[in-house]
Structure 1
Amino acid sequence: MTLRIALRDGEKMIVNGAVLRARGRTELLIENQVSLLRAREVMHPDQATTPARRLYLATMFAYIDEANRAGHRLQVVDMLADLMGVFETPSGRTACLEFASFVAVSDYYRALGTCRVLIDHEAAVFARIQGEAA
């Protein structure tokens, strides 16, 4: 199955660890299995300021850094265990379990999507806590 990616002029993406930048409007057809992230999906280490964001960063590295995937995967598992202990709502735990199921089968791209749900859930928890403290 072919994946079609459209990039705007100057837009970056990572393909199997290599950073590519479009020169002019570009359309790519990916015809085999690769690890790819668009620039908007990439998190920089200085943005990993919460537990769920650190989980996203570790998962992203497990996805794009094949040479060190085992080490990143161990970090992901440890971080997920910590988050599961914090999220008390059924929706938070369900998202954690869905995330874990993707990691278990090494589907890191889909795990990143679920991790964005965890980041949103975490932000809501923090907002609620701040509201109760005020």
Structure 2
Amino acid sequence: MLRITLRDGEKAIVNGAVIRAVGRTQIAVENQVSILRGREVMRPEEATTPARQLYFAAMLAYIDPANRDGHHDIVVGLVGALVVALEVPEAKSACIRFASEIAQGEYYKALATAREVIAFEDALAAPQAA
């Protein structure tokens, strides 16, 4: 059983349905579901870099199983490009771990790994200190 707590007004996606807490709400999930809390949800306009686009496509594959094949195609292209673009060995390792998690159907876990890839991408884009 999974227990989550939502603050008043916080949104979550449960099997593709958007829910919003009215008052502080605790939910007990007693079976297998796809669930994302509000802070884990990325809006399309936030997918502004390849790593963020990777997260967004993986998120859609997780919450939109009816169109999962199309989302997978996008994920495969993006992860391949990121492995080439991110030169840091740890970043490449995170990309490979992400791909493995997606291949095994571990979407929620893959989203956490995609956040690592975003951090690597952000670090590369940051101006280098002199």
Q: TM-score, normalising length from structure 1? A: 0.94
Q: Deviations 1:61-98 (Å, cap 9, x if unpaired)?
A: 00001110011011101110000011111101110111
1:120 match: 119
Q: How large is the RMSD of aligned CA atoms in angstroms?
A: 1.2
1:107 match: 106
- In structure 1, how many angstroms separate the alpha carbons of the residues matched to 2:50 and 2:24? 36
Q: Deviations 1:81-134 (Å, cap 9, x if unpaired)?
A: 00001111110111011101101111111100000000000000111xx438x9
- In structure 2, how many angstroms separate the alpha carbons of the residues matched to 1:29 and 1:131? 46
- In structure 1, how many angstroms separate the alpha carbons of the residues matched to 2:95 and 2:24? 37
1:53 match: 52
1:82 match: 81
2:28 match: 29
* Structure 1 residue runs without a partner (length 5+): none
1:131 match: 128
Q: Deviations 1:14-71 (Å, cap 9, x if unpaired)?
A: 0000000011111100011000000100000100110000000000000001110011
Amino acid at match of 2:44: P
- In structure 2, how many angstroms separate the alpha carbons of the residues matched to 1:87 and 1:24? 43
1:8 CA drift (Å): 0.8
- In structure 1, how many angstroms separate the alpha carbons of the residues matched to 2:72 and 2:62? 9
2:91 match: 92
Count of aligned residue pairs for this structure pair: 130
- In structure 1, how many angstroms separate the alpha carbons of the residues matched to 2:77 and 2:31? 32
Amino acid at match of 1:47: E
- In structure 2, how many angstroms separate the alpha carbons of the residues matched to 1:75 and 1:106? 16
Which consecutive aligned stretches of 4+ in structure 1 deviate over 2 angstroms post-superposition? none
